[in-house]
Structure 1
Amino acid sequence: MGAIGATNYDLLILDLFFNDGRVFSKEQINQLKRKANGGRRLVIAYMSIGEAENYRYYWKEEWASNPPSWLDEENPNWKGNYKVRYWDSNWQHIIYGNTDSYLQKIISAGFNGVYLDLVDAFEYYE
């Protein structure tokens, strides 16, 4: 927090979670919205919508041996990331549309917006 907060970048793109799994608090995000020079900056959260990640809060251990129908192959270039059938409502339920969704956690933490990764996931299924 200290090093990145001491910058004057206009935009920060961060994960919602620290490496130890803790979520950024609203207070921490609000602190980061101010540059070192006092100016305002945007703080955007990263969220993958085209792959499920086995290190995320939503991942269930049993998926390794009994994956849900929407979970597809592991990305050979990114260990622990799995292609998803993004059109499946069960995957969408994890990502948005309810009080425990990934998006709601980002909103609750006070981020200015969301960087949606793997919006080109449809190419995998073409």
Structure 2
Amino acid sequence: MTVSIHARIASANTLSKLQIFKSNAPKRDKQRIHKMHHQIKINKAQRLAPKLPKASAEIWRSIPAKLHSQLTSKQLALVVEVLDSHWHKAANHTTNEIIAEGYVWSNKHQALLDITYPQH
């Protein structure tokens, strides 16, 4: 019983020292620790989220930093998944509209190209 009491006192002392360090730490150290904590959370969320194409970096950049601090890794991974699926749906919708109109924009020619088949 005494060992566990001493262990609890030691861990409580360590915790209080850590809290004192956090409160007395220079502002830049606090910011560095805060940034490192968020990077760890983002890395974990990236492992949890399904592997996405190159758009993944854009999706991560589109999530506000405020959400990074408020959400857990699992929640961030879910947000990335949802954004990715909505972006794909929007792209498919745009593609279907373009095909329905019968024209496609060509960056090379800087013009709309007619994709309708000639009628015989």
TM-score range, shorter chain: under 0.3
Q: Which has the bigger relative contact order, CA under 8 A and spacing at least 6?
A: 1
Higher helix content, 1 or 2: 2
TM-score (norm 1): 0.23
Report the TM-score, using the length of structure 2 for normalisation.
0.24
- Rg (Cα) greater in structure: 2
Q: Identify, as 1 or 2, the structure richer in strand.
A: 1
